[in-house]
Amino acid sequence: MTLDGIQHWVFDMDGTLTIPVHDFPAIKRELGIPQDDDILGHLAA
């Protein structure tokens, strides 16, 4: 499948269309962010 013919995109920002499966603890470990820190706040600091 290529994206050449795609004209519209759907962004499911609140999980109403899909089941989100983000592993935030693993993301924090990979980036070296303490587990009690907010990811976006940590990156913005």
Tokens of 17: 């269309």
**Mean local confidence (pLDDT), 29-43:** 95
User: Residue holding tokens 């920002």?
Assistant: 13
Tokens of 32: 């070296």
Helix and strand numbers, DSSP H then E, in the chain: 2, 0
Mean of all residue pLDDT scores within the chain:
90
Tokens of 7: 């004209």
Q: What is the pLDDT of residues 7-22, one digit of tens each?
A: 998 888 888 998 888 8
Position 37 scores a pLDDT of 96
